[in-house]
Amino acid sequence: MPWSRLQRSVAWKDFIGISMPDPGPARIISECLDWLARAQDLSRTGDGGVARHFSLKDGWSASYPETTGYIVATLLNGAHEPSHEGSIERARRMLDWLVSIQFPDGGFQGGMVDQTPRVPVTFNTGQILLGLVAGATLDARYAKAAGAAADWLVTTQDVDGCWRRHPTPFAEFGEKAYETHVSLGLFAAHAAFPDRAYQASALKQVDWALTKQSPNGWVADCCLSDPSRPLTHTLGYFLRGVIGAHQSSGDQRYLTAACRTADGLLAQLSADGKLCGRFTSQWRSAANWVCLTGLSQIAESWFLLHKATGRSDYFDAARRANAFVRRTIRVGGPPEISGGVKGSLPVYGDYGKWQYLNWACKFTVDANRQELSLQAGNAPIPRSAA
């Protein structure tokens, strides 16, 4: 298929290394939320969910239940922002759609809504749970759906804490340490429904996942496709889930474990805020492209660890990473890409090739909100790293 003018333009600018001006956190949050709104309105399936991506080759995709779930949480967390006063109504549309496609047992499918096989999947259910819990106070139906999803996760968990019974058919088979991000959904459910056994189940899984962590912080079995060279995206999922364990339980050993992986990543950050997209077990670069999704996820986690420890190196690294991602985002121009976040930099890298991904956009909003919060003084005063 011949390349479109837009595809050629984006690829050429990435090839020669043209960076956009940095518009700062507040502007990028607004632009990314506008892009997510277009992704909802222009989803190929037109169902209230958010299109998985915009492709420079194929246009807008069908809606993606998994990431629509945690996009709900991002919308509701920013519902107070004046420029996005419609966030609650958009979140309701997403939640109504998600409730309508939930399986009777409480689980949710993997993949895009029009992909097959349509079977319940642990990881996707955990991500949707984050949105259902966030919306639980809006409507009793969402609270009921959240409880059903959380109950399903608890009852399908193996004795050692791992989830093995309902893997996604859209990733390589095998254990997944990054399902600590499923536990993050259960920690949220525990906060909403503290009389249920959700925290214990979530901590059991995180304890299991930490058996995959090496002394240098690298994590085995922590990738969609290549466990020997995990993506920063899936390492970011792992890290955020371990931080969630500390936030929920207060147990110092989870903070120590989170810092171990965060420090391994920190040592690889370039002066301009860049991380390569994959790493070997010795933290050697294993990709010649950046996974922008993972970089934003890790930036958010560094900010959270700065809040927990006061370490200034986490704060500085997160700001550099955020600034790097912001300089890759186009503000203005074609609406399909304005405010969108590429899967890879360059756009023809191996993760989300030629695509602007809705979850990359969501995590960029989250990371930049953390930065704004710190700028407003809602965090500990930075101190030198120990």
Alpha-carbon span 161 to 156, nearest angstrom = 10
N-to-C CA span, the chain: 55
Q: Please tell me the predicted confidence (pLDDT) of residue 57.
A: 96
Q: By three-state DSSP, how is residue 63 classified?
A: strand
**pLDDT at 382 exceeding the cut of 50:** no
Rounded CA separation 241/131 (Å): 16
Q: pLDDT: is 380 or 319 the higher one?
A: 319
The answer to which of 67-81, 204-218, 322-336 has the lowest mean pLDDT is 67-81
Residue 142 and residue 150: Cα distance in Å, rounded? 12
Residue 380: is its pLDDT beyond 90? Answer: no
Question: In DSSP terms, which residues pair with 345 in a beta bridge?
Answer: 290
Give the separation between CA 200 and CA 204, rounded to whole angstroms: 6
Question: Which pLDDT value is given to residue 84?
Answer: 76
Q: What is the pLDDT of residue 81?
A: 78
pLDDT value of position 80: 76
pLDDT at 35: 98
Is 310 a residue whose pLDDT tops 60? yes
Angle between the N-to-C axes of helices 65-77 and 358-375, in degrees from 0 to 180, rounded to the nearest 10: 20
Confidence of residue 130 (pLDDT cuts 50, 70, 90): very high
Structural tokens at position 187: 């920690």
Q: Please say whether the beta carbons of 214 and 229 come within 8 A.
A: no
d(Cα 91, Cα 79) in Å, to the nearest integer? 10
| Residue 79: per-residue pLDDT | 77
Confidence of residue 258 (pLDDT cuts 50, 70, 90): very high
pLDDT band at 376, cuts 50/70/90?
Answer: confident
5-375 CATH choice from 1.50.10.10, 1.10.1040.10, 3.40.50.300, 3.40.50.11030: 1.50.10.10
Task: Give the pLDDT confidence score for residue 385 in this predicted structure.
Answer: 32
The dihedral through the CA atoms of 347, 349, 354, 358 has a sign that is negative
Residue 381: pLDDT over 60:
no
pLDDT beyond 70 at 243: yes
Is 254 within 8 Å of 306 (Cβ atoms)?
A: no
pLDDT, position 85: 76
Residues 135-157: what's their mean pLDDT? Answer: 98
Q: What is the pLDDT of residue 260?
A: 98
Mean pLDDT of 254-280: 98
Rounded to an integer, the average pLDDT of 3-27 is 95
User: Residue 13 in contact with residue 342, Cβ under 8 Å?
Assistant: no
Mean pLDDT within 146-166: 98
> What's the pLDDT score for residue 386?
29
In angstroms, the Cα distances linking 165 to 7, 21, 77, 201, 203 are 40, 47, 32, 15, 19
pLDDT value, residue 333: 93
Q: Which amino acid makes up residue 208?
A: W
- With a cut of 60, say whether residue 177 has pLDDT above it: yes
> 383 pLDDT exceeds 50?
no
pLDDT band at 150 (very low <50, low <70, confident <90, very high): very high
What is the structure's pLDDT at 113?
98
- 274 and 323 Cβ atoms separated by less than 8 Å: no
Q: What was the pLDDT predicted at 56?
A: 98
Kindly state the helix (H) or strand (E) to which residue 305 belongs, with its residue range: helix 292-309
Which residues have C-beta within 8 Å of that of residue 208, sequence separation ≥ 6? 160, 161, 162
Cα–Cα distance, 240 to 238 (Å, whole number): 6
For a pLDDT cut of 70, what percent of the chain falls above it?
97
Q: Provide the residue ranges of all domains of the chain, joining segments of one domain with +.
A: 5-375
CB 177 within 8 A of CB 219: yes
Q: Cα–Cα distance between 212 and 337 in angstroms, integer?
A: 38
SS (H, E, C) 211-252: CCECCCCCECCCCCCCCCCCEHHHHHHHHHHHHHHHHHHCCH
Taking residue 342's Cβ as centre, other Cβ atoms within 10 Å add up to 33
What's the confidence (pLDDT) of residue 377?
75
* 379: confidence class by pLDDT, cuts 50, 70, 90: very low
pLDDT digits (tens, 9 = 90+) for 20-41: 999 999 999 999 999 999 999 9
CA separation (Å) from 62 to 45, 111, 357? 5, 10, 12
Strands (E) located in the chain: 53-55, 59-60, 290-291, 344-345, 355-357
Sheet with 355-357: strands ordered across: 59-60, 53-55, 355-357
| 163 SS3 class | coil
Give me the chain's average pLDDT, please. Answer: 95
CB 58 within 8 A of CB 352: no
